[in-house]
Amino acid sequence: MMASSILIYGLVNSVILALIAIGFSLTFGISGVANFAYGGFYLLSGYLTWMLLKLLGLPFVLAVFITIVTVGFLGFLVYWVILLRVRGIVLSEVIATFALGVGMLEFFRWKGFVTYEFTLPYFKKGMVFIAGVPIDYQRLCIIGIGLALVLFLYVFTHHTRIGWSFRGIAQNERTAISLGIESDWTAALSLAFGCALSAVAAIAILPLGIISINMGYDVLLIAVAVGIVGGLESVLGILVASLILGYAQIITSMYLSAEWMMVVYLAAIVLVLIVKPSGLFGKFKELEERV
């Protein structure tokens, strides 16, 4: 019973971590922009869906579609309006996105989006028993969405033209430019994709609880922690790191208490930075970032 519940809930937790981290790492891997506004976009997606559902009364599928497209487009716009002007200056990129994210989150706090009414609906109510462990459909859906997303990203980056240009820019920007791939367009698209992925994650994960502002900061922490442990630009690294951290958290919360779950990140980050600062699977930028 204990073992099987650790197995199942650990998997759910790992998929949640992977879903959250994948958008951040995709953007960083392609364009080198660390999108610190990620938590802001995550919560923006939650509130946007909530408003479309509750205030406009749109059907769920349509609201989800509109949210994903809008948030993706906003990411595109952020690149084109703000980041393009400071491209290549790491300090400025970091500060600009960080300020944007904090600004969004604190704006929501000021508008008072903090009460109990802000919840997103489950995709499907009810629960089943797997190996004697009760689990609701929403968590099963999250596992499904996570797997589908990883598969989609793999197919997308390996079998479409945009995906090829993503990988080209990620591998060697100058060579890619000389082959006619637009660097700025690709980077803007990568930001749009990252933000759209944060919207997908938000819509899948937020129904599990109340939407709260601090979750925006937590999401950024999770994305960053998973990225550091796995290596920021490696998709395989993200998956492995999510599994390690996800199971470590569940085991910690079973044997210690739920408060220690966030401390797992601190321990993992410190440990990885001491042993292998570029992350477990982050080979690619190793030479550049680690002198």
Q: List the beta bridge partners of residue 130.
A: 133
Give the residue with the Cβ less far from another protein, 227 or 246: 227
Total number of residues that touch another protein (CB under 8 A): 47
What is the DSSP code string of 157-174?
HHHSHHHHHHHHHHH-HH
Question: Residue 193: which residues within 8 A CB-CB, separation 6 or more?
Answer: 23, 26, 27, 72, 75
Give the residue with the Cβ less far from another protein, 133 or 253: 253
Give the residue with the Cβ less far from another protein, 100 or 204: 100
Give the residue with the Cβ less far from another protein, 166 or 265: 265
To the nearest whole angstrom, how small is the minimum distance from the Cβ of residue 23 to another protein?
15
Q: Tokens for 20?
A: 């959250």
Is 19 a binding residue for another protein by CB under 8 A? The answer is no
Which of 232, 240, 241, 245 binds another protein (CB under 8 A)? It is: 232
Q: How far apart are the C-alpha atoms of 60 and 185, rounded to whole Å?
A: 31
> What residues between 131 and 160 interact with another protein by CB under 8 A?
none
Give the residue with the Cβ less far from another protein, 140 or 213: 213
> What residues between 100 and 129 interact with another protein by CB under 8 A?
100, 102-103, 106-107, 109-110
Question: Residue 126: which residues within 8 A CB-CB, separation 6 or more?
Answer: 136, 137
To the nearest whole angstrom, how small is the minimum distance from the Cβ of residue 135 to another protein?
26
Q: How far apart are the C-alpha atoms of 11 and 247, rounded to whole Å?
A: 7
To the nearest whole angstrom, how small is the minimum distance from the Cβ of residue 238 to another protein?
15
Is 280 a binding residue for another protein by CB under 8 A? The answer is no
Q: How far apart are the C-alpha atoms of 280 and 223, rounded to whole Å?
A: 15
Give the residue with the Cβ less far from another protein, 64 or 187: 187
- Reduce the DSSP state of residue 128 to 3 states and report it: strand
To the nearest whole angstrom, how small is the minimum distance from the Cβ of residue 227 to another protein?
8
* Interface stretch with another protein, choices 13-21, 26-34, 158-166, 168-176 (CB under 8 A): 26-34
Cα pseudo-dihedral 223, 229, 233, 239, rounded to 10: -80
Task: Report the candidate in 154, 162, 189, 143 with the shortest Cα–Cα distance to residue 27.
Answer: 189
Is 88 a binding residue for another protein by CB under 8 A? The answer is no
